[in-house]
C-alpha cells in the first residue's frame, strides 16, 4: 500500500484494473478500468494532484 507525499492524497493502490485513491479530506474512491501503466505513472508523478486531474479524474 504505497503512501505518497501529497497535500491532497494519502495513499494509492492498484489491483486488477481498480485504482483506489485515499484523499485526505474525502476518503477512499475507486476508479475502474485503469491500466497498470497509468498507476505506475501516477506513483512516479512529481505532483499527484495534477496527475490525478489530468489523467484520471473524469476518465475512469
Answer for the pair 60, 31: CB distance below 8 angstroms, yes or no.
yes
The grid coordinates listed for 38 are 497509468
Confidence of residue 1 (pLDDT cuts 50, 70, 90): low
Higher pLDDT, 5 or 23: 23
Please report, for the chain, the start and end positions of each structural domain, with discontinuous segments joined by +. 9-56
Answer for the pair 17, 34: CB distance below 8 angstroms, yes or no.
yes
Residue keyed to cell 508523478 = 45
pTM comes to 0.90
The Cα 25–Cα 46 span in angstroms is: 20
Note the pLDDT tens digit of each residue in 27-45: 999 999 999 999 999 999 9
The Cα 44–Cα 40 span in angstroms is: 6
Amino acid at each position: 500500500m504505497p503512501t505518497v507525499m501529497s497535500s491532497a492524497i494519502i495513499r494509492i493502490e492498484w489491483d486488477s484494473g481498480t485504482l483506489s485513491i485515499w484523499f485526505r479530506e474525502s476518503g477512499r474512491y475507486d476508479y475502474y478500468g485503469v491500466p497498470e501503466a497509468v498507476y505506475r505513472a501516477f506513483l512516479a508523478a512529481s505532483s499527484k494532484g495534477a496527475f490525478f486531474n489530468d489523467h484520471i479524474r473524469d476518465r475512469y
